[in-house]
Structure 1
Amino acid sequence: MFIVLYACLISAPATCREERINVSMEAAAPTACLMSSQFTVAQWSEEHPQWQVGRWKCVPASRLSRDT
Protein backbone atom coordinates (compact mmCIF):
# COMPACT_ATOMS: atom_id res chain seq x y z
CA MET A 1 0.00 0.00 0.00
CA PHE A 2 1.25 3.48 -0.81
CA ILE A 3 0.24 6.90 0.40
CA VAL A 4 0.28 9.20 -2.61
CA LEU A 5 0.45 12.81 -1.52
CA TYR A 6 0.39 16.03 -3.51
CA ALA A 7 2.46 18.88 -2.14
CA CYS A 8 3.27 22.39 -3.33
CA LEU A 9 6.15 24.67 -2.41
CA ILE A 10 5.06 27.27 0.12
CA SER A 11 7.24 29.91 -1.55
CA ALA A 12 6.00 29.02 -5.06
CA PRO A 13 2.50 27.50 -4.85
CA ALA A 14 2.44 26.73 -8.58
CA THR A 15 5.36 24.30 -8.08
CA CYS A 16 3.84 21.02 -6.99
CA ARG A 17 4.92 17.40 -6.90
CA GLU A 18 3.60 13.96 -6.15
CA GLU A 19 5.24 11.84 -3.46
CA ARG A 20 4.74 8.11 -2.93
CA ILE A 21 5.30 6.68 0.52
CA ASN A 22 5.34 2.90 0.92
CA VAL A 23 3.45 2.04 4.11
CA SER A 24 3.93 -1.75 3.91
CA MET A 25 0.37 -2.81 4.64
CA GLU A 26 -0.66 -4.44 1.37
CA ALA A 27 -2.86 -6.99 3.10
CA ALA A 28 -4.63 -4.38 5.20
CA ALA A 29 -7.88 -2.79 4.17
CA PRO A 30 -7.71 0.66 2.57
CA THR A 31 -9.57 1.97 5.62
CA ALA A 32 -6.64 0.95 7.85
CA CYS A 33 -4.29 2.88 5.57
CA LEU A 34 -6.48 5.96 5.71
CA MET A 35 -6.61 5.79 9.50
CA SER A 36 -2.82 5.58 9.86
CA SER A 37 -1.99 7.93 6.98
CA GLN A 38 -2.51 11.13 8.98
CA PHE A 39 0.52 10.37 11.12
CA THR A 40 2.65 9.48 8.08
CA VAL A 41 1.62 12.64 6.20
CA ALA A 42 2.28 14.78 9.29
CA GLN A 43 5.72 13.21 9.67
CA TRP A 44 6.51 13.86 5.98
CA SER A 45 5.37 17.47 6.42
CA GLU A 46 7.70 17.95 9.39
CA GLU A 47 10.61 16.57 7.38
CA HIS A 48 9.79 18.83 4.39
CA PRO A 49 8.83 22.20 5.93
CA GLN A 50 9.13 24.06 2.61
CA TRP A 51 6.27 21.98 1.16
CA GLN A 52 2.55 22.13 1.95
CA VAL A 53 0.54 18.95 1.53
CA GLY A 54 -2.73 19.59 -0.26
CA ARG A 55 -4.21 16.11 -0.36
CA TRP A 56 -3.34 12.45 -0.16
CA LYS A 57 -4.83 9.05 -0.80
CA CYS A 58 -4.04 5.39 -0.17
CA VAL A 59 -3.35 3.32 -3.26
CA PRO A 60 -2.60 -0.42 -3.43
CA ALA A 61 0.71 -1.13 -5.15
CA SER A 62 -1.12 -3.18 -7.76
CA ARG A 63 -3.10 -0.09 -8.83
CA LEU A 64 -0.34 2.47 -8.56
CA SER A 65 0.78 2.41 -12.19
CA ARG A 66 -2.82 2.62 -13.43
CA ASP A 67 -3.80 5.51 -11.10
CA THR A 68 -1.03 7.89 -12.10
Structure 2
Amino acid sequence: MLILLSICLLSQPSQCREDKIDLSFEARSPAICLRNSQSAIAKWQEEHPEWHVTKWRCAVRGSQPRDL
Protein backbone atom coordinates (compact mmCIF):
# COMPACT_ATOMS: atom_id res chain seq x y z
CA MET A 1 0.00 0.00 0.00
CA LEU A 2 0.98 3.60 -0.55
CA ILE A 3 0.00 6.77 1.20
CA LEU A 4 -0.30 9.54 -1.36
CA LEU A 5 0.38 13.00 0.06
CA SER A 6 -0.43 16.48 -1.12
CA ILE A 7 2.17 18.75 0.49
CA CYS A 8 2.94 22.48 0.51
CA LEU A 9 6.00 24.41 1.66
CA LEU A 10 5.48 26.19 4.97
CA SER A 11 7.49 29.19 3.79
CA GLN A 12 5.60 29.39 0.46
CA PRO A 13 2.14 27.84 0.88
CA SER A 14 1.36 28.29 -2.81
CA GLN A 15 4.23 25.94 -3.75
CA CYS A 16 2.71 22.47 -3.51
CA ARG A 17 3.48 19.03 -4.88
CA GLU A 18 2.65 15.39 -4.34
CA ASP A 19 4.74 12.76 -2.59
CA LYS A 20 4.17 9.21 -1.41
CA ILE A 21 4.99 6.97 1.50
CA ASP A 22 5.61 3.38 0.51
CA LEU A 23 4.43 1.27 3.42
CA SER A 24 6.70 -1.67 4.18
CA PHE A 25 3.98 -4.29 4.33
CA GLU A 26 2.32 -5.83 1.30
CA ALA A 27 -1.22 -5.98 2.68
CA ARG A 28 -3.73 -4.69 0.19
CA SER A 29 -6.31 -3.74 2.79
CA PRO A 30 -7.33 -0.08 2.98
CA ALA A 31 -8.30 -0.63 6.62
CA ILE A 32 -4.72 -1.64 7.47
CA CYS A 33 -3.39 1.37 5.56
CA LEU A 34 -5.75 3.69 7.42
CA ARG A 35 -4.78 2.16 10.75
CA ASN A 36 -1.05 2.72 10.10
CA SER A 37 -1.29 5.99 8.19
CA GLN A 38 -1.25 8.45 11.08
CA SER A 39 2.05 7.21 12.49
CA ALA A 40 3.61 6.99 8.99
CA ILE A 41 2.52 10.55 8.16
CA ALA A 42 3.78 11.83 11.53
CA LYS A 43 7.19 10.22 10.89
CA TRP A 44 7.29 11.68 7.36
CA GLN A 45 6.42 15.12 8.76
CA GLU A 46 9.26 14.89 11.30
CA GLU A 47 11.68 14.08 8.48
CA HIS A 48 10.39 16.93 6.28
CA PRO A 49 9.73 19.87 8.66
CA GLU A 50 9.68 22.43 5.83
CA TRP A 51 6.57 20.78 4.31
CA HIS A 52 2.95 20.63 5.48
CA VAL A 53 0.66 17.72 4.55
CA THR A 54 -2.62 19.18 3.27
CA LYS A 55 -4.32 15.98 2.03
CA TRP A 56 -3.58 12.28 1.90
CA ARG A 57 -5.15 8.98 0.92
CA CYS A 58 -4.28 5.31 0.77
CA ALA A 59 -3.74 3.63 -2.59
CA VAL A 60 -2.91 0.12 -3.71
CA ARG A 61 0.63 -0.15 -5.04
CA GLY A 62 0.47 -0.43 -8.83
CA SER A 63 -2.98 1.11 -9.10
CA GLN A 64 -3.70 3.90 -11.55
CA PRO A 65 -3.02 7.15 -9.64
CA ARG A 66 -5.66 9.84 -9.54
CA ASP A 67 -5.60 13.37 -8.25
CA LEU A 68 -5.89 13.91 -4.54
What range describes the TM-score normalised by the shorter chain of this pair?
0.7 to 0.9
Distance 1:45 1:34 in 2: 17
Alignment check: 8 A CA contact 1:3 1:20 kept: yes
User: When the two structures are superposed, what TM-score results if normalisation uses the length of structure 1?
Assistant: 0.86
Distance 2:65 2:23 in 1: 19
Distance 1:62 1:49 in 2: 28
Q: Higher helix fraction: Structure 1 or Structure 2?
A: 1
AA of the residue aligned to 2:35: M
1:17, distance to aligned residue in structure 2 (A)? 1.1
Q: Quote the residue 1:8 is aligned against.
A: 8
Matches within 5 A, 1:25-64: 25-63=25-63
Deviations 1:23-45 (A, max 9, x none): 03333410110110000000010
Query: Unpaired runs of 5+ in structure 1?
Result: none
Q: Structure 2 length as normaliser, TM-score?
A: 0.86
Stretches (4+) displaced over 4 A? none
Q: Where do 5+ consecutive residues of structure 2 fail to align?
A: none
SS of equivalent residue, structure 1 residue 62: coil
> Counterparts of 1:49 and 1:66 in 2: how far apart (Å)?
26
Count residues with an aligned counterpart.
67
SS at match of 1:53: strand
